[in-house]
Amino acid sequence: MKLARVYHWYMADYDLLAKFYDRLMSDSSLRSNQVMRCIERYGPTASSLLELGCGTGAVLSGLSAVGSLAGMDISPNMLDIARARLPSVQFIQGDISSFDLERRFDVIVCTYDVLNHLTEFNRWISCFACTRKHLTEGGLFIFDINTVGQLNRVACEQPRVHEFDGNTVIINVSAEERPIYEWDLRIFEQVVGNQYRLHHRQVRELAVEIRQVLEAMSSDFELLDLADSAGGTPDDESERAFFVYRRQRS
């Protein structure tokens, strides 16, 4: 059973878990298709795209129709896998809340709740500012977040246990320091017979109200679309909020 898309492993702590990433993620083509639909609707002439928090390049692999692709992630091991998957794509190791690539893109994408992994809201604001700097005039910024309600729900659930390829993963989410939610992940990797190697990581996510995101976006951006997982209007109890912005032309 594959995990829901909320389990996006973005931070450097996940270097040792990079080899498990693709097997544990939900079907990345669903997110690639969602992004492509937005590009076809709002930016059909786009010819360059940057993904922030690109992981192993799974989403980027479904965006080749755009043309020139680039990806950024903080994890070197994730990027090694991405480069092997997409050798013609430019990959950059970096912090999505502070970067300067000295070029601009027609589209910048940040999906699988990567933003939630920035656990200080001022880093979200910094990411938005960096994105504006790297977008062409009229360029698109497409991103999603785990909502406050979704993080509350998973924190109330019992620990989840999943098996894959002879390995076992146990996931427990706690909310003792709201609005910070801590994800405790234990992967028991089968080595030989009944012997297992434990990979243990704890990752934090920040819950942010949709209102805060809308207020934080600069007047240099125009909101084009805001939807939940089913395409309706999201609120803070939705599973996910999906944003599409356009950088205003001067």
51 and 135 both lie in a single domain: yes
20 and 124 both lie in a single domain: yes
- Asked whether residue 5 is assigned to any structural domain, the reply reads no
Q: Distance between CA atoms of 121 and 127, rounded to whole angstroms?
A: 10
Instruction: Evaluate if residue 11 carries a pLDDT over 50.
Output: no
pLDDT tier at 3, thresholds 50, 70, 90:
very low
77 and 186 both lie in a single domain: no
Contact yes or no for 76/19 (Cβ under 8 A)? no
Q: What are phi and psi of 15, to 5 degrees?
A: -50, -45
Provide the CATH number for the domain around residue 179.
Answer: 2.20.25.110
61 and 82 both lie in a single domain: yes
Q: What is the DSSP string of 17-59?
A: GGGGHHHHS--HHHHHHHHHHHHHHH-TT--EEEEET-TTSTT
Provide the CATH number for the domain around residue 128.
Answer: 3.40.50.150
- Asked whether residue 1 is assigned to any structural domain, the reply reads no
Q: pLDDT digits over 26-66, tens only?
A: 678 889 999 999 999 999 999 999 999 999 999 999 999 99
69 and 189 both lie in a single domain: no
Report pTM. 0.90
155 and 42 both lie in a single domain: no
171 and 234 both lie in a single domain: no
Amino acid 16: pLDDT? 60
Amino acid 4: pLDDT? 35
Report the 3 state secondary structure along 144-184: EEECHHHHHHHHHCCCEEEEECCEEEEEEEEEEECCEEEEE
Amino acid 202: pLDDT? 85
138 and 233 both lie in a single domain: yes
For the purposes of burial, counting CB atoms within 10 Å of the CB of 85, is it exposed (0-12), middle (13-18) or buried (19 or more)? middle
Q: Where in the sequence is the domain holding 170, given as residue range(s)?
A: 149-206
Amino acid 110: pLDDT? 98
98 and 189 both lie in a single domain: no
Number of domains in the chain: 2
136 and 178 both lie in a single domain: no
Amino acid 13: pLDDT? 55
